[in-house]
Structure 1
Amino acid sequence: MQTLTAVVPVYNEAEVLDAFHARLTAALAGLDLDCRVLYVDDGSDEPCAVRLRELAHEHDNVGLLVLSRNFGKEVAISAGLDHAEGDAVILIDADLQDPPELIATFVEQWRAGYDVVYGQRTERRGDSRLKRATAAVYYRVLNALSEVEIPQDVGDFRLLSRRAVDALNALPERHRYMKGLYAWIGFSQAAVPYVREARASGSSKWSYWRLWNFAMEGITSFSTLPLKVATYLGMLVSSLSFMYGLYMLVKTLIWGNPVPGYPSLIVIVLFLGGVQLMCLGVIGEYLARTYTESKGRVLYLTREYHPPRD
């Protein structure tokens, strides 16, 4: 019998954990597969950590991977994929925004020959208008800059075949923008539309500051266009400055310049300074990622691992 493992990254979700586990178990029970669940504790607080251990102890088909601290969702997913066994792997969050009942449809598409089956949100209930608008703009900007096509309105909720999982595990980078990596590996992919519900309880761990940094991660991980823009912008500003310098020279030689150009001088200096700082910032973003990769640290550390027992 084919084996399916559901990888669930968890960070402080004690309030919804029991309800999620009940729905996930019911969804997996309806499949003619040997199904297992692997929870990844990404440095959760004590109530959540205790409940995860209880679930792993109470159910033979439930495993638990405990990371040494909070490494972030992208790393937690990578850790889960490293330890997930079976012919296919489901990635799903524990906040009940993604319906476990959709897994059966994912499996149908997988058996039809697709290596990656992802849920595509047709509606984002519970998100503010600002968050929906910025998400739409972000995905369009990312695809305009990226070298690979990244599906819009798609998160981590998906099924991966064994060869897709092996391909992801073979990628060595430590800056893990998973949405981009899912697209980068290629293989045959299919979308399943669904309505993303509001959180069943608690609040999102993603502040706008974290979302901004996450967006920067995606752009710098899958595009070098910002570096080219900095180069072209520098060339443009230099050309305009040269032409303006010629204009001022000719004007001074013909009509003279009795009034000092202090305002225009300040404007030019501030403009050029701003452009230089922006270009240095773009270069710094890429340099920081190069520095992180060059250190060669392991992606994560585990405190304990309890694989499923069946």
Structure 2
Amino acid sequence: MKKISILVPCYNEEATLHLLYMELRKLIDSQNNYEWEVLFVNDGSKDNTLNLIKELRKNDYHINYVDLSRNFGKENAMLAGFDFVTGDCMVIIDADLQDPPSLIPTMIQEWEQGYLDVYARRAGRGKESWIRKKFSLLFYHILDHSTRFDILQNVGDFRLLDRVCINALKKLRENERYNKGLFCWIGYKKKEIVFNRGDRIAGQSSWNFLSLFNLAIEGITSFTTAPLRFASILGGSIALMAFCFLIFYVTKTLVYGDEVKGFTTLIASIFFLGGIQLLFIGILGEYVGRIFNETKRRPPYIAYQYNENIIQ
């Protein structure tokens, strides 16, 4: 009998946990031709999430959990899930029920047809602000046009991955992770399912605009050096323009005897070029910072499993 694991990263999800469990229980009961595992990864929650997971485990042998020693972020929490799931395939789903568990049987059908990565594309994004939707689409557009492989747009973490994909992802131990890009990078036979994403049932999302912006920076710097190339091209263009202007004004002064004027223009140019230099230094610093973090070779997470054995 094939085994299907459901991976649920959790951070302060006490308001939605029982609702999610009820939906997953219905799914397990209706699909009794498979063996099931539900793996919760508690990413350093500060509320009652961990205790609720422990209560669920006492009453249901399908439930397992990994308790991280602190909040390592969703990307690393998912890596912990990749390391501990035991199924022939794995479905990643958020605890807030915006991604419907009722779509999982369709994913399983496609998996049985031979697809190794069955991902859910959002036809709608629920109650998101207009500016958040626009920035999300802009980010995917930039990333897709600056990498050498296709980045799936409007696709989140909700997907089914075969054991082959899971094993490939486990080999990628980088600390600064962007899993949506890694899902595309590993390749394999993919299948799309379109769905309408719902609204959060209860509780509040831990993803604010700043955290999403930081995730976008991680995604761009993880999969493309296009910002560095852009900085080089723009810097060279500005230097060429400045050299042409210098030749023009020197020639004009020598031929016509005009005085060099324009104190305001000079100051504005200095500030402009200074700002451009600081911007380029910042872009370079993002990549240097990533190198610094990776060279320390710290583990992406530290976890306690249900038996409280420390996992190094």
Which bin holds the TM-score, normalised by the shorter protein?
Answer: over 0.9
2:225 is aligned with what amino acid? T
2: distance between equivalents of 1:159 and 1:56?
23
Aligned to 1:200: 201
Aligned to 1:22: 22
Q: Secondary structure at the match of 2:61?
A: coil
Quick check: 163-172 or 21-30, which moved more? Answer: 21-30
2: distance between equivalents of 1:83 and 1:166?
11
- Deviations 1:173-223, CA, capped at 9 Å, x for gaps: 111100000000000011110110000012211111111111011011010
Contact in 1 for aligned 2:14/2:47 (Cα 8 Å): no
Give, in angstroms, the shift of residue 22 of structure 1: 0.5
2: distance between equivalents of 1:45 and 1:52?
13
Equivalent residue runs for 1:107-126 within 5 Å: 107-126=108-127
Contact in 2 for aligned 1:66/1:304 (Cα 8 Å): yes
2: distance between equivalents of 1:179 and 1:235?
33
- Deviations 1:256-283, CA, capped at 9 Å, x for gaps: 2336331221122112111111111110
Aligned to 2:297: 296
Equivalent residue runs for 1:1-310 within 5 Å: 1-31=1-31, 32-258=33-259, 260-306=261-307
Contact in 1 for aligned 2:178/2:218 (Cα 8 Å): yes
Contact in 2 for aligned 1:148/1:222 (Cα 8 Å): no
Quick check: 91-100 or 50-59, which moved more? Answer: 50-59
2: distance between equivalents of 1:304 and 1:16?
22
Quick check: 76-85 or 249-258, which moved more? Answer: 249-258
Quick check: 155-164 or 169-178, which moved more? Answer: 169-178
Quick check: 283-292 or 259-268, which moved more? Answer: 259-268
Identity of aligned residues (%): 39
Greater RCO, 1 or 2 (C-alpha within 8 Å, sep 6+): 1
Contact in 1 for aligned 2:68/2:303 (Cα 8 Å): yes
1:111 is aligned with what amino acid? E
1: distance between equivalents of 2:19 and 2:173?
36
Contact in 2 for aligned 1:87/1:162 (Cα 8 Å): yes
Quick check: 1-10 or 266-275, which moved more? Answer: 266-275
Quick check: 183-192 or 256-265, which moved more? Answer: 256-265
1:28 is aligned with what amino acid? I
Quick check: 296-305 or 109-118, which moved more? Answer: 296-305
1: distance between equivalents of 2:196 and 2:264?
55
Unaligned 5+ runs, structure 1: none
Q: Secondary structure at the match of 2:15?
A: helix
Quick check: 259-268 or 168-177, which moved more? Answer: 259-268
Length, aligned pairs only: 307
Contact in 2 for aligned 1:27/1:101 (Cα 8 Å): yes
2:211 is aligned with what amino acid? R
Q: Structure 1 54/275 Cα, relative in aligned 2: closer, same or farther at 3 Å?
A: same
Q: Secondary structure at the match of 1:180?
A: helix
Unaligned 5+ runs, structure 2: none
2:18 is aligned with what amino acid? D
Q: Secondary structure at the match of 1:142?
A: helix
Contact in 1 for aligned 2:146/2:226 (Cα 8 Å): yes
Q: Please, what TM-score do these two structures have when normalized by structure 1? A: 0.96
2: distance between equivalents of 1:306 and 1:189?
36
Quick check: 216-225 or 145-154, which moved more? Answer: 145-154
Give, in angstroms, the shift of residue 49 of structure 1: 1.6
2: distance between equivalents of 1:218 and 1:112?
31
Q: Secondary structure at the match of 1:212?
A: helix
Give, in angstroms, the shift of residue 38 of structure 1: 0.5
2: distance between equivalents of 1:97 and 1:236?
46
Quick check: 3-12 or 127-136, which moved more? Answer: 127-136
Contact in 2 for aligned 1:64/1:306 (Cα 8 Å): no
2: distance between equivalents of 1:36 and 1:223?
36
- Deviations 1:14-42, CA, capped at 9 Å, x for gaps: 01110110001211322221011000000
1: distance between equivalents of 2:233 and 2:58?
59
Contact in 1 for aligned 2:16/2:95 (Cα 8 Å): yes
Contact in 1 for aligned 2:76/2:300 (Cα 8 Å): yes
